[in-house]
Structure 1
């Protein structure tokens, strides 16, 4: 793996997990060697409260804290595709402010 890669992690409600994964895979994420569509996903619960000025997909502005079943999805992304992949993720994701983490990966020794 000579090219620079990033680990991409995001959270998405169960209703949109396949839609968002397909969007990032089509944009170039999830390729490892001779495999594509590679990721790891874990089901859990996310929570948030929409504040004034927000346009929530779930819940109401100024309402209660929402607890939602969401998947945490992790995959790999080449540096040259990061901007395209993140843009595709945002377009496919139903949330106004999706939670996205991005870590630069170091080559494995040996």
Structure 2
């Protein structure tokens, strides 16, 4: 049985399709006989680039708000490293915001 992880990613809305394709191709979102399964919710991301940052959007020391999507999916543990690598390669931000954790009680 394979351990399942939940994954949440925050991405500029302009790059959501690119991220969904990259992580799906790497193995995210596989549920039974389906691939590339996800749930996407629009929102607003806020951040302030600090000295030393190389922001994709915004300027050092100035608060920024951008239309972002919250992408939710599942990832089988053996695919997790490849999915994270694909996410980092496709994401426009210097430091992509994402998180993962094991889904308790779920194995398939």
TM range (shorter): over 0.9
| Deviation (angstroms), 1:103 | 1.1
Normalising by the residue count of structure 2, what TM-score does the alignment of the two structures yield?
0.95
Residue 107 of structure 1: how far off its partner (Å): 2.6
After superposition, residues 10-89 of structure 1 pair within 5 angstroms as 10-62=9-61, 64-89=62-87
Taking structure 1 as the reference length, what is the TM-score of the superposition? 0.93
Secondary structure of the residue that 2:46 maps to in structure 1? strand
The structure where strand makes up a greater share of residues is 2
Distance of 1:85 and 1:98 partners within structure 2:
13
| Structure 2: gaps of 5 or more residues | none
Q: How well do the aligned residues superpose, as a CA RMSD in angstroms?
A: 0.9
- Report the number of matched residues: 106
> Which blocks of at least 5 consecutive residues in structure 1 are unaligned?
none
Secondary structure of 2:104's counterpart equals coil
Over 3 Å off, 4+ runs: none
